[in-house]
C-alpha cells in the first residue's frame, strides 16, 4: 500500500500542476473506493484542501460483500466455464484483497450470512467461520487489513464526496449449506447492484455531499450510464471553473 500511496499522491500533484493548479477530482469504482478512502485518510487536511476538489466513489464496496463468504468457504468460479469453485478456492483465499472485502460487522449487524446444520454465521463470527471452513489462518490475514480505514460508520475522507451506485438488482445475500463447505450452497438473493449488497453501497451516505441511486443498474453496467458520466463531468467541471 505504501508504494500505491506514494505513486497516487505524486499523480494527483502532477495532474494539479499540469492543469493550472486546478484541484483534482478523484474517481474510483468498486474496491477502488476502499483504496481511495484509505489514501485520503492518510493525507493531511492541508494537502487535501490544496490538491483534491472532490472524490466520486462509484459502486463502492467499502462495507464488504456477502459473496466473499462463499468465496472463502467454497470458492468462486466467477462464471468461468469448466472451472470448479473448489479448484480456485486456495488461490482466492490467499489474496488479502478478498479478506479486506469480507463483510464489515458494523455494516451488516446481526444479519445471518451463512447457515449450516450446526450454526449460523454473521459478520461478527468470522473467526469461528474461518475455523469451521478449515482455514484458521484467515483470522490472521483478515487482521492485517480489517482496520486499514478505521470504523466505517464514522469514516471521513476529508473531501467533498459524490457517491453513485446501482440498486434493485438481485445480489447474493445468504448461503445455506446442508452438507460440506465443498458443496455449492443454496443462495438467497437480496438488494444491491448484483455484486455489492445495498448495506455496503449505502455506507457513503454518512460522508457524502450527494448520493444518487440508479435503480436497475448493475455493478459495472453503471459505468456505461450517460447520466452517471454527465454527473462525474459536472463535479469535475466545478473544480475547473473555480
Bridge partners of 190, per DSSP, are 171
Considering the candidates 28, 29, 30, 59, report the single residue annotated as catalytic. Answer: 30
d(CA 58, CA 33): 7
Comparing CA positions, the residue from 97, 71, 72, 75 lying closest to residue 87 is 75
H runs (alpha helix) in 101-154: 105-108, 126-132, 138-145
Q: Do you know the residue count of the chain? A: 242
CB environment 86-120: b (16+ within 10 A), e (fewer) = eebbeebbeeeebbbbbbbbebbeebbbbbbeeee
| Residue 49 falls in the annotated catalytic set | no
- 85, 104, 193, 208: which is the annotated catalytic residue? 193
Catalytic residues: 30, 193, 219
Amino acid at each position: 500500500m505504501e508504494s500505491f500511496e506514494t505513486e497516487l499522491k505524486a499523480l494527483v500533484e502532477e495532474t494539479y500542476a499540469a492543469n493550472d493548479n486546478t484541484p483534482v477530482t478523484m474517481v474510483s469504482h468498486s474496491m477502488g473506493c476502499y483504496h481511495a478512502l484509505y489514501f485520503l485518510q492518510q493525507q493531511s487536511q492541508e494537502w487535501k484542501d490544496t490538491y483534491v476538489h472532490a472524490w466520486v466513489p462509484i459502486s463502492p464496496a467499502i462495507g464488504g460483500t456477502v459473496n466473499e463468504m462463499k468465496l472463502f468457504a467454497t470458492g468462486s468460479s466467477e462464471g468461468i466455464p469448466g472451472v470448479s469453485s473448489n479448484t480456485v478456492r486456495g488461490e482466492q483465499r490467499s489474496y488479502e484483497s478478498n479478506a479486506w472485502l469480507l463483510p464489515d460487522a458494523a455494516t451488516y449487524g446481526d444479519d445471518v450470512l451463512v447457515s449450516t446444520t450446526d450454526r449460523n454465521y454473521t459478520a461478527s463470527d468470522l473467526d469461528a467461520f474461518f475455523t469451521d471452513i478449515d482455514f484458521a489462518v484467515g483470522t490472521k490475514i483478515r487482521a492485517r487489513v480489517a482496520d486499514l480505514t478505521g470504523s466505517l460508520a464514522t469514516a471521513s475522507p476529508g473531501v467533498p464526496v459524490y457517491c453513485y451506485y446501482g440498486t434493485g438488482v438481485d445480489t447474493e445475500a445468504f448461503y445455506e449449506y446442508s452438507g460440506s463447505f465443498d458443496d455449492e450452497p443454496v443462495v438467497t438473493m437480496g438488494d444491491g447492484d448484483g455484486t455489492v449488497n445495498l448495506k455496503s453501497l449505502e455506507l457513503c451516505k454518512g460522508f457524502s455531499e450527494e448520493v444518487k441511486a440508479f435503480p436497475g443498474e448493475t455493478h459495472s453496467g453503471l459505468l456505461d450510464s450517460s447520466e452517471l458520466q454527465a454527473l462525474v463531468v459536472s463535479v469535475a467541471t466545478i473544480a475547473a471553473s473555480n
